[in-house]
Amino acid sequence: MKILPRTNFTGEFSIPGDKSITHRAIMFNAVAEGEADITGALLGEDCLSTAACMRALGATVETDGDRIHICGAETLRDASLDCGNSGTTMRLLMGLAAGRGVHVRLTGDASLSSRPMERVAAPLRLLGADIATEGGRAPVEVRPARLQGCRVETKVASAQVKSALILAALGAEGETVVCEPLLSRDHTERMLAAMGARIRADGCEVHVRKSGLRAADVRVPADISSAAYFMALGALRGETLCRNVGVNPTRAGILRVFKAMNVQFSLENERTVCGEPVADIRVKKSPLRAVSFGREWMPSLIDELPVIALLCAFAEGESVITGAEELRVKESDRIATTAEMIAALGGDCTATADGFVIRGKRALEGGNVRSHKDHRIAMSGAVGLAASARGGEIEDVECVNISFPRFYDLLG
């Protein structure tokens, strides 16, 4: 796809629904008692993988536009499940299957089959789960076993690992305490509490007891990870307004970065919808300055790092990002692919073991970008090209369907 430069991007954007919240709304309602409607859902490929898996397990999941109607299954049936490209689907299903005593085999595409699964399997085994991975990766097999609650300390601050443990704990005897090194996104805790689970969050600890779930309607806010591309265009080239964006503090770290980079932005109409903080985000063209941050900020902005690094390439001064080694095990090795994308645009970005050193040039020339079939690299590259001097081309563009099917239409 060819992207030509533009000097002004001004507009109002309806960003698609939050991917993390949509996955959870489908999965949790599919095992709850009763029926629920999910509105504003993201129907990207990852969430469709979750929907297909829950159907295969016995739930009714019907899609109609951005609405999903779900009728939960009382008991799940054994199944072989294709999780596609979706780490959230595979990892959360490992915990769900273990907690519900079903026998499942989980597979995924080439990217997902290369990603680490022992980070979920090993702590689940502490509860008594019977799980086998193949050399630490998919295919993953979960067999029925009796679970006993205990205290589990996770090694990585990962909402996928934490959520898998919480889902397993809903079926374990006694209390389970999940403790993570830094607080990761907490959509699971919020949604399960609203569905009647016995769950209590206390800082980086979550206490869970065996519980059933009641179906609950969910209105999904727009995904800040998707809004980030249009927020970045506003900061670089005009003024953008993204409506109805989820600004849960465990997700909104990009706003902290914006403050540090001198980006002019405001949150309007702040409100709470279905237990999640939501706002309209307005971002105005700003002279960007370099920023440095590390591990503590990572969980709240991990998916936005490619586009944040891109903004650093357009800033004045040297930015240093550390503590981001989790990027190495995303849909691509995002330390390598982000650095390559910025270099392809004419920027100066050095990949380090756990992050980036980016020497901002204030303007980028443009060039040809490879997405490596990673949706977030494709979209960050498109933003970089649109704001560059000459534009250029991106290879393998269809991967945006994973999280943002209408991305190029909206950019157009």
> Would you name the residues annotated as active-site residues?
303
CB of 321 to ligand S3P, least distance (A): 16
Query: Is the Cβ of residue 24 or residue 370 nearer to ligand S3P in the bound state?
Result: 24
Residue (of 407, 348, 277, 361) closest to 13 by Cα position:
407
CB 319 within 8 A of CB 349: no
Q: Which residues contact 412 (CB under 8 A, 6 or more apart)?
A: none
All residues at 6 or more sequence positions from 259 whose CB lies less than 8 Å from its CB, including other chains: none
Instruction: Count interface residues toward ligand S3P (CB under 6 A).
Output: 12
Q: Which is nearer to ligand S3P, 20 or 240 (CB)?
A: 20
Return the ∠ at Cα 126 (arms to 120 and 130), rounded to 5°.
Answer: 70
**Shortest Å, Cβ 181 to ligand S3P:** 12
Is the previous residue joined to 139 through a cis bond, with omega within 30 degrees of 0? yes
Q: What are phi and psi of 207, to 5 degrees?
A: -105, 130
Residue (20 or 332) nearer to ligand S3P, CB: 20
Give the shortest CB-194-to-ligand S3P separation in angstroms. Answer: 17
- List the Cα angle 388/392/397 in 5-degree steps: 115
By CB under 6 A, tell whether 252 contacts ligand S3P: no
Residue 88 or 388: the one with the smaller Cβ distance to ligand S3P is 88
Among the listed residues 22, 50, 111, 160, the single contact to ligand S3P using CB under 6 A: 160
Per-residue x/- track, 379-408, ligand S3P (CB under 6 A): ------------------------------
Answer yes or no: are the C-beta atoms of 26 and 68 closer than 8 Å: yes
Rounded least distance, CB 162 to ligand S3P, Å? 7
Q: Which of 158, 248, 300, 332 binds ligand S3P (CB under 6 A)?
A: 158
CB of 320 to ligand S3P, least distance (A): 22
Which span sits near ligand S3P by CB under 6 A: 153-161, 210-218, 253-261, 289-297?
Answer: 153-161
Site for ligand S3P in 285-344 (CB under 6 A): 302-303, 326
x/- track of binding to ligand S3P for residues 163-192 (CB under 6 A): x--------------------xx-------
Inter-residue contact 341 to 369 (CB < 8 Å): yes
CB 163 to ligand S3P: min, Å: 6
Stretches 155-163, 230-238, 274-282, 362-370: which one binds ligand S3P (CB under 6 A)? Answer: 155-163
Span from 3-11, 154-162, 286-294, 377-385 in contact with ligand S3P (CB under 6 A): 154-162
Stretches 49-57, 157-165, 341-349, 389-397: which one binds ligand S3P (CB under 6 A)?
A: 157-165
Output 276 or 326, the one with its CB closest to ligand S3P. Answer: 326
149 neighbors 126 (Cβ within 8 angstroms): no
- To ligand S3P, the closest distance from the beta carbon of 20 in angstroms equals 3
Which one of 159, 231, 232, 324 is in contact with ligand S3P (CB under 6 A)? 159
* Among 22, 29, 50, 88, contact with ligand S3P (rule: CB under 6 A): 88
Q: Identify the residue among 1, 9, 15, 20 touching ligand S3P (CB under 6 A).
A: 20
For binding to ligand S3P (CB under 6 A), which residues are involved?
20, 23, 88, 158-160, 163, 184-185, 302-303, 326
